[in-house]
Structure 1
Amino acid sequence: MENEHPRTRFETKIAVLLRRDLATWQRLNVTAFLVSGLGHQLPEVIGEPYADADGTPYLPMFRQPVLVFEGTEDTLSLAHGRALARDLPRAVFTADLFTTGNDQDNRAAVRAVPGDQLDLVGLAVHGPRNAVDKVLKGARMHP
């Protein structure tokens, strides 16, 4: 039986790059925080709300996959610079954010450090597939 809904090849890509030395809980936490920023800033990446057969409503989610990569501290720094140079929508998570307890302190921690000195542990980007691929050069898919 032929699939009625063939797989879509999206022209854009949502990607998260994590520093490879993070603990599992940190990887999950950072990923969740990073993609929340993309969903807020880019409403076009969000699909329609869900509902089950009983009619119970559920929140909408991204309409395309989120690809997760890992890399070294240098890989993250280079990717950050490439994302800035290409003016791609991006979200950052720094090591300092593991020690803060609220959104206001999170923003203050990032604001306190020049961009080229951020201790990045995660970066999320969205944009044309080829541009995101160039940003992620040197990273590998998360195992």
Structure 2
Amino acid sequence: METLPVEETTTSGPPWTTKIAVLLRDGLLPWQELNVTAFLASAVAAAVPELIGRPYEDADGTRYLAMIRQPVLVLTGSAEVLASARTRALERGLPTSLFTADLFATGGDTENRAAVRAVRGADLDLVGIAVHGPKNAVDKVVRGARMHP
């Protein structure tokens, strides 16, 4: 018999001891914000599979895919805020994903990885990062960012 994680079964309110934050650079076009957010959230889900809940099913018995089982906060900030957040996340050892401006012009996954690999970390033209970790640590990482409007 499958057992559910303790945080899903012990309370009716938000039980999460961790936080997922996506931080987007100011000035992106709406389609870029959505695209970057989707890619970054998928990276967190792939790296931390216990964040995925159970599949959904409607009253007709139609099944739907499982989703991340906790909210994903979407924040915005300047290029400097993103660079600082990247540094703080790495210093804390938090699972971190990134999206650079170069990735808007690549043709797929292999090209994306090559584009990131070609640039030193401090020189990456970040347009988004995502982090997952304890609430307190994530709050410190995204210090200076604001909630997406």
Q: Same fold (TM over 0.5)?
A: yes
Partner AA of 2:141 in structure 1: V
What TM-score, normalized by structure 2, do the two folds share?
0.91
Aligned-partner Cα distance in 1 for 2:15–2:76: 23
Secondary structure at 1:82 match in 2: helix
What TM-score, normalized by structure 1, do the two folds share?
0.95
Q: Deviations over 1:91-125 (max 9, x none)?
A: 00000000001110000000000111100000000
Secondary structure at 2:60 match in 1: coil
Please state if 1:31 is matched with 2:41: no
Please state if 1:80 is matched with 2:89: no
What are structure 1's unaligned runs of at least 5 residues?
none
Partner AA of 2:35 in structure 1: N
- For 2:120, which of 114, 118, 124 is the aligned residue? 114
Partner of 2:20: 14
- Matched positions, count: 139
- For 2:103, which of 65, 82, 97 is the aligned residue? 97
Secondary structure at 2:27 match in 1: coil
Percent of aligned pairs with the same amino acid:
63
RMSD: 0.9
Aligned-partner Cα distance in 1 for 2:60–2:47: 32
Partner AA of 2:54 in structure 1: E
Aligned-partner Cα distance in 2 for 1:61–1:9: 16
Aligned-partner Cα distance in 1 for 2:112–2:56: 31
What are structure 2's unaligned runs of at least 5 residues?
1-10
Secondary structure at 1:18 match in 2: strand
Aligned-partner Cα distance in 2 for 1:102–1:8: 36
